[in-house]
Amino acid sequence: MNIVSPPLKASDYKSTLKPVWCPGCGDYHVLLSLTKALAELGLPMEDVAVISGIGCSSRIPAYLNCYGFHGVHGRALPLATGLKVARPDLTVLVAGGDGDGFSIGGNHFLHACRRNIDITYIVMDNRVYGMTKGQPSPTTEPDWDSALSPGGTGLSPFHPLVIALASGANFVARAFSGVPNRTAEILVEAIRHPGFSFVQILSPCVTFRPDEREWKSMTHPAPVEPTSDPAQAARRIMTDDGFNVGILYRGDRKAYAPHVAANRSDITQLETAFSV
């Protein structure tokens, strides 16, 4: 009896800490997808760093066995940018939610796309602030009626994919948490693609948005092949039903990689690069 195994299985990337998300939360699936993607890529755990901000989904680094940094609200992208610049050898992933990424961290989102550093940004979008008990987020529908937003906010939702595209992201995809294998495949492609990759994962909040359980029957594979034409991708994204799942744009911009003369065996050289 023999099994020809890669060095690591998906379950090896999961830490022993048990997630504290609500039962049925889409983020459990995202955790599963991420571990599957890392196993598929065969990345050594010590070569991967997952950076997050604040919110339910931002807990994810604790549930993984690679390096993690649970950062400040909305500031995961600048942290990740600094890390990737200083340690270009690492695979740097950023994870968080729609509130963290598009409201508090909205400005960082635009400029991370523009800078096109080789990192992958995973947003678990549930269209609500779950951790703080159900306030509307930037991606909430204008007519979502709740005790905290009677009659809905009436505000146009943020369009993260098209904004990422317009800001210069080099890879844009939408995934659905309920199909972990498909999501893992998209994450693998996003991580492999050079430059800034952005993956919006529709991840239901079953507690404050129980209606999002219906996303399982609403999402569907994008009926088109990925394009490298940003104008075509933008038209598709702006005119689809918001539930197209797949890789929507693959750009060919060269990733920005500033030269940092860091010799990790000598910390003084690293300090010199930052001296003023």
Partner 1 sequence: MTEQEKQPTFTDLRDLLAHAYAIEVDAIDRYNLLADQMEVANSDELAALFRKLASHEEHHAREILERAGDMELPQLKLSEQKWTDAESPEAAAMEDAHYLMTPWHALQMALKAEQRAFDFFDRIVNTTTDNDVRKWAEEFREEEAEHVRLVEDLLKRYPAPDPDWDHDDDPPVILE
Residue ranges binding partner 1 (CB under 8 A): 1-6, 9-11, 18-26, 28-29, 31-32, 36, 40, 133-134, 147-148, 176-182, 184-185, 188, 204, 206-208, 213, 216-221, 245
Closest CA to 178 of 122, 220, 226, 133: 220
Task: Kindly report the backbone phi and psi dihedral angles of residue 24, in degrees, each rounded to the nearest multiple of 5, phi listed first.
Answer: 90, -10
The position carrying tokens 């689809």 is 240
The rounded distance, in Å, linking the Cα atoms of 172 and 200 is 8
CB closer to partner 1 out of 156 and 217: 217
Burial (CB < 10 A; 0-12, 13-18, 19+), residue 151, is: exposed
**Residue 74 contacts residue 105 (beta carbons within 8 Å):** yes
Burial (CB < 10 A; 0-12, 13-18, 19+), residue 35, is: buried
CB closer to partner 1 out of 58 and 81: 58
**Residue 103 contacts residue 74 (beta carbons within 8 Å):** yes
The length of the chain in residues reads 276
CB closer to partner 1 out of 180 and 251: 180
Establish how many alpha carbons lie within 13 A of residue 24's alpha carbon, considering only the half-sphere containing its beta carbon.
Answer: 13
